[in-house]
Chains A and B, each alone.
Chain A
């Protein structure tokens, strides 16, 4: 794989919290416009990997490259300016701001210039009717979509999506699948953490399975479900 086809590259990324190894020597790449699923049992290090890539927590060792450039020492807002953004498992909107203001903050400070505009994001994420509502009044699922809207306002090349499907009903899930597929078609690479494997199956064929902080498997979801190590990790064996 030549470096032009690598948008994101993790090289031997390692992180521990108080001597507890949470991410252990993880290496993988994501190509532009690609959707990669990140799965694994609770506590396997998925969210920590998203935190490390987005710069919310610092890593202990290893490298994170975006477009071939090391970013692991940059602060989070600089990584945002380079094109990395994310949503949060527990959504974190600016609760006292309106929906439109939430997005406007990211448009003002996203640092990636033109292209993104408020109306298009409101339409894309179905927020037109709620634009003047305070973000704190939205449902949790809507707040997750608002995180995504804020991320899109910074015109990301890579979106890290942390459990956006949890708690949604089937028709909402279908809408999220359609939206994420559309974003990938625009060239945004997506790294999607998800427990709902059926949902993930509709999004992508490329999954990485983590267990206890290590990469256990990388390949298609179908092969993963046939892999003895993966089955053992999920069912306990």
Chain B
């Protein structure tokens, strides 16, 4: 599946002219998958996920501007900046449910307000944003985002199929029993939290590299969090393919009507969220899985002669 994904985004620019749309779609696949790492595998829903994206973008850009680091290294630096922010925010993991989500949202807004503060205009550009035109290299930044998107998906594959992932599944089913099975739940959660932040930070770094001139709202806008959450939920969290599917379908829809007719898009979006919450809480993928498990159950019954 990863190979197909890589092939598609390598070949599409040859036949489809809107490279910027493809780039943004990869960004949202990476973000939806990164969010899925945390939400799908631990149950923590980070409303402020965009904070790590912004931290990555600014970390990357400041490294380019002030330390004159080569852009690819600066992207890694952006990932490190997001991981550092996640480490500082790791006490948030002591909160649960909506409390965690809201505290995380507040944290991302604090980060945004610091970065966008006019008093810091000399360092971060404040509300006027940053310009790293000197590093502009659309082919390289496209490649970087492709790698990051694949990396995020690879981590999700690891979470699905490894011993570590078995522990995560046990933790979400019953944390106390998971401890009694010998699982270090505090450390496991922290690892997932940092991995999820790293994906957003790396994606933010490549995004900044690609657009190279931007305002703080472009990388801290709440809409990015909302999109990542809705895309992941739409496809199905806790799976590998779900967030990819959600990001591709819904971002394509957004590109088709969201920009020209934003009011209809938001209407449609609202309907979608309501329908999802009511009828498909496990995402679109669960439709296929449900059918498949129904079929296999029927087969099993036939084999054992119950029918």
Contact = CB atoms under 8 A, between A and B. Distances in A.
Q: Are A and B interaction partners?
A: yes
B305 interface: no
A75 B179 contact: yes
B173 A110 contact: no
Contact of A105 (B170, B176, B184): B170
Contacts of A81: 182
B197 to A, nearest CB: 24
B176 A109 contact: no
B177 A94 contact: yes
Interface residues of B, number: 18
Contacts of B176: 56, 76, 92
B42 to A, nearest CB: 15
A106 B181 contact: yes
Contact of B167 (A85, A105, A150): A105
A54 interface: yes
Contacts of A76: 176, 179-180
Given A80-B180, A94-B173, A108 B185 contact: no
A150 B181 CA distance: 7
Contacts of B166: 104-105, 108
Given A77-B185, A105-B167, A108-B167, A93 B180 contact: no
Interface string A151-184: 1011000000000000000000000000000000
Secondary structure at the B interface, as helix, strand, loop or mixed, is: helix
A5 B179 CA distance: 28
Contacts of B177: 88, 92-94, 147, 150
B183 interface: yes
Nearest to A56: B176
B181 A105 contact: yes
Contacts of A95: 173-174
Interface string B163-191: 10011011001101111111111100000
Which of B169, B178, B180, B183 lies at the interface centre, i.e. has the most chain A CB atoms within 10 A of its CB? B180
Interface of B: 163, 166-167, 169-170, 173-174, 176-186
10 closest A-B pairs by beta carbon, nearest first, are A109-B182, A106-B181, A94-B173, A76-B179, A110-B182, A92-B177, A80-B182, A105-B181, A77-B179, A109-B183
28 contacts: A55-B179, A75-B179, A75-B184, A75-B186, A76-B180, A77-B182, A80-B179, A80-B180, A80-B182, A85-B180, A86-B180, A88-B177, A92-B177, A93-B177, A94-B173, A94-B174, A94-B177, A97-B169, A97-B173, A105-B166, A105-B178, A105-B183, A106-B181, A106-B182, A109-B181, A109-B183, A151-B180, A154-B180
